[in-house]
Amino acid sequence: MRFFAYFLSVLFIFTTVNSKEFRIDFSDEGMKLLKKRGFGKKTNYSNGKDDKGWYLKAEADGTATGLGMEIDKELLNEMPFLNITFKIEKDFTNIDQKTKDGHDWAARIMVGHGKKIGAKLVSLAHSSFLEEGFLQQSPWTKGSRDYVISSDKSGEWHSRKVNVKELLEKTHGISFTNFIAIFSDSNNSKQKIIAYYRDIYFSSE
C-alpha cells in the first residue's frame, strides 16, 4: 500500500498530554480531534465504550484510510515508549505481506517523520503471517518500514510496548516523530478485516 500518498496530505491536531503520558482519546470529543485521510474507498472507523473505557473499531473492505494527529517532535525525549492495545476480530487469509499485492495490515500504528519529500516512517503492525520482531522495507515506499509487534491469533485484547525512539534511530537515524496515525487497510488484497484499538499512549517507561 502506498503509505506515502497518505502522509503527503495529512494535517494533524494535538490531544491532551501530561507529564507522564500522551494518550490518544477515543471518546466522542477526542474523535473530533483525529483527522481521517486516505485514498480510494475509506476504512470505516467508529468508537464505542465498554467497562474498560473507550475503544476504536476499524472495518476495512478493500479500503485504505487512517486516523492521525500531529505531535511535538520533542515528545520522545521524555516519553520514548509507545503502548498499544488491540484485538483482531476478522483477519486476512492467505496474503503475503512482504509483497505489494499482500501489503495490507489489519491493525497498525504509524510514526516517524511525515513530510512530502523524504518521509521516514515506521508501521508497528499486527500480522498473523509474520513473526513478532520481523522488520522490512515497505515494498511500496523506500522511506517506510514495517515492524511486526504482534502475531497474536487469540482474537482477544492484547498489549504491546515499543521503544519507538530506539526503533526510529535504528531504522531511519532519527530520534523523533512528528505524528501518530492508526491505519487499518485492505486495498491491495481486497479482503474484509475488523480490528479494535484502545489505550494507545506514549510513556516515559
Q: How far apart are CA 19 and CA 174, in angstroms?
A: 23
Whether 99 is covered by a domain: the verdict is yes
Burial class (CB within 10 angstroms; exposed 0-12, middle 13-18, buried 19+) of 156: exposed
pLDDT interval class at 41 (50, 70, 90)? confident
Whether 150 is covered by a domain: the verdict is yes
Mean pLDDT, rounded, for 63-77: 94
What is residue 114's predicted lDDT score, i.e. its pLDDT? 77
* CB environment 42-57: b (16+ within 10 A), e (fewer): ebebebeeeeeebbbb
Whether 139 is covered by a domain: the verdict is yes
Whether 162 is covered by a domain: the verdict is yes
What is residue 14's predicted lDDT score, i.e. its pLDDT? 39
Number of domains forming the structure of the chain: 1
pTM of the model as a whole: 0.89
Whether 27 is covered by a domain: the verdict is yes
What is residue 184's predicted lDDT score, i.e. its pLDDT? 97
Average pLDDT in the chain = 90
pLDDT at 202 over 80: yes
- Residue 15 sits in a domain whose CATH number is 2.60.120
Q: Which domain holds residue 127?
A: 3-48+59-203
Whether 54 is covered by a domain: the verdict is no
pLDDT interval class at 20 (50, 70, 90)? confident
Q: What percentage of the chain exceeds 70 in pLDDT?
A: 89
Whether 53 is covered by a domain: the verdict is no
Whether 117 is covered by a domain: the verdict is yes
Mean pLDDT, rounded, for 39-56: 94
